[in-house]
């Protein structure tokens, strides 16, 4: 038997040997087409290569492309499980020529692969062509030797392939396999073509045109080739099976499902096992590509798929969540070809387990409600919309899940009634809604979020993605288009831009398109469930409905990521060194720094900061993966995630854990685990280097720490080094000698200060240059008076003592002026204290200086006065007192 793995690699290698580049499957969320829900064909990633907008270094390619057809235009969800060939997830094998070979070579390559490499019997094959494509008919005859009866001309869109309403398209030729007479059905184009006997296995599209939005169809720059062959279909043919679910790959998953549930794979519950096997594949691949279950957009399609599978697990009688148990089988089957599956294995497992655990809580009760309601209905009477809405709203039953259950009973559902109930609820929400208080802007955002669907954020996975313009706002009003010079707010259906939240600043960057239009986005904010890009149009014009490329400023995002991840490590390190009372009081994740406020009663010491810094850097260097999970708030907190008090969490929370294993947290637990919606590095090593730059008090019991990481840390260190170099330069020194040089200068300054003091003293006590104030005789005694500038008041008494010693007997008056104020000291030698009191004299002096009082002893008294300009008058007043 040829296994699916062998067929996949056989296909890739065959085209590889025929000069095709083996290209990886693109993600399920198309980055280059905002109007497409999921990648639904191999050519999606090459869309712009066909039209010539994008160049690749090869012009032949081969892929095995992951495809999801659920929700949106191509929706196979309802049929999965009940038919032989419907899947929500499948692999499309395809070869592509971008203006290189065309029809003849494409047909030849396909024919040779099927008949020579894969060894299919020619007689079992027939083909269709577009009705007027004579050229294709001729080539089939020549290359394959097919007779006219086995080349069927089809005039319908079945043989004209287009990806969607716009984009590359062209006539196609399909290859069919005849599963044999014992299966009912006729060849394509015949009245019973819908039978299961003739199965299309490969579609060769002769890509020639581009369908444009206005209805025009133009020629592609060069005719090209796009082919698509479902791996599951060709595997069925090569494995002699009629049903895709009987191929080895699907069968292994179905058997695992039977094992886990203990219910036979092929009995009464075969449909349930098939549903589970299919939905496990689409759910796992979507999760691996960044889609997580939610109540909107792609996340809701995923939730619908998951819940449909979970209801079938319930039908199998599974008491505990079971679908996550099948992940290892899926990884065994497909992990080697799609490594993202291996990388995301724990995320897939956790997400499936959480969703199933949660849904189990309401599934049983919902089913009971439904049973009670249907019991009351006639045999094929439709279920009322109100009941379906209650199941949706209260029990989490997506509408298609309810329909799926009713289908088993041959019963319809009143969809109009469901829609009416939904509208009623929306209106009630609107009436109850209270905004921020600014009525005009509140109304605008409410109207917009009511009218538009939530912006899908693709920025965890990518930094550039296309988005379709949903609304343009200028001066608080919606406008149909904007042009150069306009300040505008732009809302897109999806974006790579992060909108400010959780302390992380919004992204900056450009919105551009090929027609030369460009908006410089300087901020991104969240309003209700919309991301609002704020910026100015630099060139060109854009209108609602246009598709633009959202290009996040990468180096800035890298800095934000480094700061955000570093904040998580810092938080944990602070708790380890300061204690568990440390809780987050505020956080800013900016381009140039991070700021983290914590509850802590006293300053964090220098030593503590160093230890924290060291631990963070040690964790960075461990370079372990940063892991992201989605779970419920309760589960996350139970598992030890740090929750932020006062923060509002939705149904799902994102848990980010990092820093490598931390045994003290429990087996398998990482150093840091937090609830967080921000963007983070992939591995902590990407943070680079972490440095605390300041610590200080913010409010009572709250400390603020600022730090830098990554490129910002390099900037910080460079700035510091620059300062050091400049300081050293100013002191004619080098950074290495700077400390010694500064100590030397301080020593020198001390010495100079001492010398200055000495000199002043000398000046006051009669040294050279003293203020002219001759010694005189007043009232029969020697009298010395000095009025001095800038001598500290505390120096006056020792000076007076010194002068006393010099003159032996007499009266000394010293007045010092400092900043306009005066200090006065009067000294009287001991032999004279019987006649004159220094205290009396100082009072006279102080009065003249505009002051009052003064005190001391008869031999030494001190006072002050506000008016230093009156120094000489004070001296005169004292002289007068002495002479009287
Ligand atoms: N695009 C075509 C298809 O999806 C061929 O790959 O069938």
Which pLDDT tens digit goes with each residue over 83-121?
889 999 999 999 999 999 999 999 999 999 999 999 999
Ligand 1, atom nearest to 92 Cα: 6
- Is residue 44 within a helix (H) or strand (E), and if so which, with residue range? none
pTM of the model: 0.76
Report the candidate in 481, 473, 470, 523 with the shortest Cα–Cα distance to residue 501: 523
The average pLDDT across 574-584 equals 92
Ligand 1, atom nearest to 205 Cα: 5
**CA–CA distance, 232 with 551 (Å, rounded to integer):** 37
Best residue among 61, 87, 226, 229 to mutate for probing ligand 1's pocket (most ligand atoms within 8 Å of CB) is 226
Confidence class for position 343, pLDDT limits 50, 70, 90: confident
DSSP character at residue 205: E
The yes-or-no verdict on residue 801 having pLDDT over 80 is: yes
Residue appearing with tokens 């006729």 = 186
Query: Residue 503 has what pLDDT?
Result: 92
Structure-token pair, residue 882 = 């002495």
pLDDT digits (tens, 9 = 90+) for 493-538: 999 999 999 899 999 999 999 889 999 999 999 998 899 999 999 9
Q: Is the CB–ligand 1 distance for residue 94 below 6 Å?
A: yes
The average pLDDT across 747-772 equals 73
Q: Which residue, by CA, sits nearest to atom 6 of ligand 1? A: 228
pLDDT digits (tens, 9 = 90+) for 205-243: 999 999 988 888 999 888 999 999 999 999 999 999 999
What ranges in 710-793 are assigned the alpha helix state H? 710-730, 738-764
pLDDT digits (tens, 9 = 90+) for 10-29: 999 999 999 999 999 999 99
**Distance between Cα 226 and ligand 1 center (Å):** 7
The yes-or-no verdict on residue 723 having pLDDT over 70 is: yes
Q: Is the CB–ligand 1 distance for residue 96 below 6 Å?
A: no
Best residue among 11, 26, 94 to mutate for probing ligand 1's pocket (most ligand atoms within 8 Å of CB) is 94
**Distance between Cα 133 and ligand 1 center (Å):** 18
The yes-or-no verdict on residue 874 having pLDDT over 80 is: yes
**CA–CA distance, 583 with 599 (Å, rounded to integer):** 5
Average pLDDT, the chain: 91
Query: Residue 650 has what pLDDT?
Result: 55
Query: Residue 771 has what pLDDT?
Result: 43
Report the candidate in 239, 241, 243, 247 with the shortest Cα–Cα distance to residue 118: 239
The Cβ-side half-sphere exposure at 157, using a 13 Å CA radius, reads: 5
pLDDT digits (tens, 9 = 90+) for 242-259: 999 999 999 999 999 999
The average pLDDT across 266-278 equals 96
**Distance between Cα 91 and ligand 1 center (Å):** 12
Query: Residue 802 has what pLDDT?
Result: 87
pLDDT digits (tens, 9 = 90+) for 812-838: 999 998 888 999 999 999 999 989 999
114-119 CB contacts, 8 Å cutoff, 24+ apart: 114/175, 114/202, 115/144, 117/10, 117/14, 118/2, 118/7, 118/10, 118/234, 118/238
Query: Residue 648 has what pLDDT?
Result: 46
The average pLDDT across 716-724 equals 94
Buried b (16+ CB within 10 A) or exposed e, 683-721: ebebbbbbbbeebeeeeeeebbbebbbbbbbeebeeeee
**Distance between Cα 119 and ligand 1 center (Å):** 23
Task: Answer for the pair 757, 795: CB distance below 8 angstroms, yes or no.
Answer: yes
Query: Residue 79 has what pLDDT?
Result: 86
**CA–CA distance, 310 with 360 (Å, rounded to integer):** 8
Confidence class for position 621, pLDDT limits 50, 70, 90: very high
- Mark residue 625 as left, alpha or beta (left: phi above 0; alpha: psi -120 to 50; beta: remaining): beta
Ligand 1, atom nearest to 204 Cα: 5
Query: Residue 770 has what pLDDT?
Result: 45
- Mark residue 639 as left, alpha or beta (left: phi above 0; alpha: psi -120 to 50; beta: remaining): alpha
**Distance between Cα 165 and ligand 1 center (Å):** 15
DSSP character string of 553-597: -HHHHHHHHHHHHHHHHHHHHHHHHH-TT--EEEEEE-SS-EEEE
Structure-token pair, residue 188 = 């394509």
How many beta carbons lie within 10 A of that of residue 667, not counting itself? 6
**CA–CA distance, 519 with 515 (Å, rounded to integer):** 13
The yes-or-no verdict on residue 33 having pLDDT over 90 is: no
Task: Answer for the pair 72, 36: CB distance below 8 angstroms, yes or no.
Answer: yes
Query: Residue 772 has what pLDDT?
Result: 43
The Cβ-side half-sphere exposure at 455, using a 13 Å CA radius, reads: 31
The bridge status of strand 811-818 relative to strand 781-789 is parallel
SS3 (DSSP) at 525: strand
Q: Which residue, by CA, sits nearest to atom 2 of ligand 1? A: 228
Q: Which residue, by CA, sits nearest to atom 3 of ligand 1? A: 228
The yes-or-no verdict on residue 773 having pLDDT over 70 is: no
Q: Which residue, by CA, sits nearest to atom 4 of ligand 1? A: 41
pLDDT digits (tens, 9 = 90+) for 425-481: 888 877 776 665 666 677 888 889 888 988 999 999 899 999 999 999 999 999 999
**Distance between Cα 811 and ligand 1 center (Å):** 117
The average pLDDT across 357-379 equals 90
The yes-or-no verdict on residue 642 having pLDDT over 80 is: no
The average pLDDT across 868-881 equals 92
Q: Is the CB–ligand 1 distance for residue 41 below 6 Å?
A: yes
Query: Residue 436 has what pLDDT?
Result: 58
Residue appearing with tokens 């929306």 = 426
Q: Is the CB–ligand 1 distance for residue 396 below 6 Å?
A: no
Query: Residue 766 has what pLDDT?
Result: 61
The yes-or-no verdict on residue 631 having pLDDT over 80 is: no
The average pLDDT across 649-677 equals 86
**Distance between Cα 169 and ligand 1 center (Å):** 10
Ligand 1, atom nearest to 42 Cα: 6
* C-alpha torsion 124→130→134→139, nearest 10: -40
């Amino acid at each position: 038997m040829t296994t699916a793995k062998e067929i996949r690699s056989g296909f890739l290698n065959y085209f590889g040997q025929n000069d095709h580049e083996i290209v990886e499957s693109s993600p399920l969320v198309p980055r280059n087409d905002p109007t497409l829900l999921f990648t639904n064909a191999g050519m999606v990633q090459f869309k712009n290569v066909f039209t010539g907008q994008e160049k690749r270094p090869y012009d032949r390619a081969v892929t095995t492309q992951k495809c999801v057809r659920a929700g949106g235009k191509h929706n196979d969800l309802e049929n999965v499980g009940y038919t032989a060939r419907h899947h929500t997830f499948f692999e499309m094998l395809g070869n592509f020529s971008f203006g290189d070979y065309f029809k003849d070579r494409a047909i030849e390559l396909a024919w040779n692969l099927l008949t020579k490499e894969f060894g299919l019997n020619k007689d079992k094959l027939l083909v269709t062509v577009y009705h007027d494509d004579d050229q294709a008919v001729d080539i089939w005859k020549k290359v394959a030797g097919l007779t006219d009866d086995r080349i069927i001309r089809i005039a319908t869109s079945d043989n004209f392939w287009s990806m969607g309403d716009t984009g590359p398209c062209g006539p196609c030729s399909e290859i069919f396999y005849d599963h044999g007479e014992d299966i009912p059905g006729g060849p394509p184009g015949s009245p019973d073509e819908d039978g299961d006997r003739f199965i299309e296995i490969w579609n060769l599209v002769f890509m020639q045109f581009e369908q444009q939005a206005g209805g025009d169809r133009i020629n592609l720059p060069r005719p090209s080739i796009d082919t698509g062959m479902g791996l599951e279909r060709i595997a069925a043919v090569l494995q002699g099976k009629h049903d895709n679910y009987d191929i080895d790959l699907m069968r292994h998953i179905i058997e695992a499902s039977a094992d886990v549930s203990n219910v036979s794979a092929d009995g009464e519950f075969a449909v349930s096992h098939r549903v589970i096997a299919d939905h496990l594949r689409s759910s796992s691949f979507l999760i691996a590509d960044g889609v997580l279950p939610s109540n909107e957009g792609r996340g809701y399609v995923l939730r619908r798929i998951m819940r449909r599978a979970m209801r079938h697990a319930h039908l199998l009688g599974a008491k505990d969540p079971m679908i996550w148990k099948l992940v290892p089988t899926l990884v065994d089957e497909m992990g080697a070809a799609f490594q993202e599956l291996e990388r995301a294995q724990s995320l897939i497992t956790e997400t499936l387990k959480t969703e199933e655990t949660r849904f189990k809580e309401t599934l049983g009760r919902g089913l009971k409600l439904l049973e009670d309601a249907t019991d009351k209905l006639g045999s094929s009477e439709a279920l009322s919309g109100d009941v379906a809405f209650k199941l949706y709203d209260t029990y989490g039953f997506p509408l298609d899940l309810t329909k799926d259950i009713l289908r088993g009973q041959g019963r319809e559902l009143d969809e109009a009634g469901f829609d009416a109930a939904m509208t009623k609820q929306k209106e009630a929400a609107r009436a109850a809604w209270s905004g921020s208080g600014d009525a005009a802007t509140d109304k605008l955002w409410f109207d917009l979020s009511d009218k538009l669907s939530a912006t899908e954020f693709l920025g965890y996975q990518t930094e550039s993605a296309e988005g379709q313009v949903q609304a343009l706002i200028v001066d608080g009003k919606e406008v149909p288009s904007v042009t150069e010079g306009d300040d505008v707010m732009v809302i897109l259906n999806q974006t790579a831009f992060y909108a400010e939240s959780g302390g992380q600043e919004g992204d900056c960057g450009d919105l551009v398109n090929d027609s030369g239009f460009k908006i410089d986005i300087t901020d991104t904010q969240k309003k209700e469930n919309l991301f609002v890009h704020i910026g100015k149009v630099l060139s060109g014009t854009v209108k609602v409905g246009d598709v633009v490329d959202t290009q996040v400023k990468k180096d800035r995002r890298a800095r934000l990521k480094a700061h955000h991840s570093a904040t998580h490590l810092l938080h944990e390190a602070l708790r380890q060194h300061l204690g568990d009372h440390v809780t987050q009081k505020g956080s800013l994740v900016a381009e140039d720094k991070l700021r983290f406020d914590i509850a802590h009663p006293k300053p964090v010491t220098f030593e503590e900061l160093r230890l924290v810094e060291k631990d963070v850097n040690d964790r960075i260097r461990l370079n372990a993966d940063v892991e992201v999970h989605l779970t419920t708030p309760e589960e996350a907190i139970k598992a030890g995630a740090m929750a932020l008090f006062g923060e509002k969490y939705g149904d799902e929370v994102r848990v980010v854990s990092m820093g490598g294993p931390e045994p003290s947290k429990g087996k398998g637990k990482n150093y840091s685990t937090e609830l967080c919606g921000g963007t983070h590095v992939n591995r902590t090593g990407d943070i680079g280097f972490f440095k605390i730059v300041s610590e200080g008090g913010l409010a009572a019991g709250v400390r603020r720490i600022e730090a830098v990481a990554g490129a910002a840390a390099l900037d910080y260190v460079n700035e510091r080094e620059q300062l050091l170099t400049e300081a050293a330069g100013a002191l004619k020194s080098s950074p290495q000698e700077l400390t010694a040089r500064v100590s030397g200068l301080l020593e020198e300054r001390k010495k100079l200060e001492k010398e200055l003091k000495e000199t002043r003293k000398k000046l006051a006590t009669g040294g050279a240059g003293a203020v002219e104030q001759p010694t005189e005789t007043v009232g029969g005694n020697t009298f010395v008076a000095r009025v001095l500038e800038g001598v500290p008041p505390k120096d006056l008494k020792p000076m007076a003592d010194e002068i006393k010693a010099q003159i032996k007997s007499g009266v000394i008056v010293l007045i010092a002026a400092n900043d306009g104020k005066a200090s006065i000291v009067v000294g009287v030698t001991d032999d004279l204290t019987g006649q004159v009191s220094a205290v009396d004299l100082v009072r006279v002096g102080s009065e003249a200086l505009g002051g009052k009082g003064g005190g001391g002893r008869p031999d030494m008294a001190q006072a002050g006065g506000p008016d230093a300009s009156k120094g000489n008058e004070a001296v005169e007043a004292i002289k007068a007192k002495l002479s009287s």
